[in-house]
Amino acid sequence: MQYVQPIRDKKKIEEIKAILKENGTRDLLLFSMGINTGLRISDLLNLKVIDVKGKSHVEIKEQKTGKLKRFPLLGNLQLLIDEYVRNKDCFEYLFKSRNGENKPITRVMAYMIINVACKACGIQDNIGTHTLRKTFGYHHYQTFKDVAILQSLFNHSSPSITLRYIGITQDEIEQTLQQFELRELIYFVKSEQVTLSASLLPTIFKNHLNT
Residues acting as catalytic residues: 40, 64, 130, 133, 156, 165
Please give the Cα distance from 20 to 143 (Å, whole number).
25
Residue 188 DSSP class? E
Q: What is the maximal distance between C-alpha atoms in the chain?
A: 91
Q: Could you tell me which of 91, 75, 65, 76 has the C-alpha nearest to residue 25?
A: 76
Contacts of 28 (CB under 8 A, 6+ apart): 17, 20, 21, 80
Nearest-5° Cα angle at 157, 47 to 170: 90
Q: How far apart are CA 117 and CA 19, in angstroms?
A: 6
Contacts of 84 (CB under 8 A, 6+ apart): 25, 26, 29
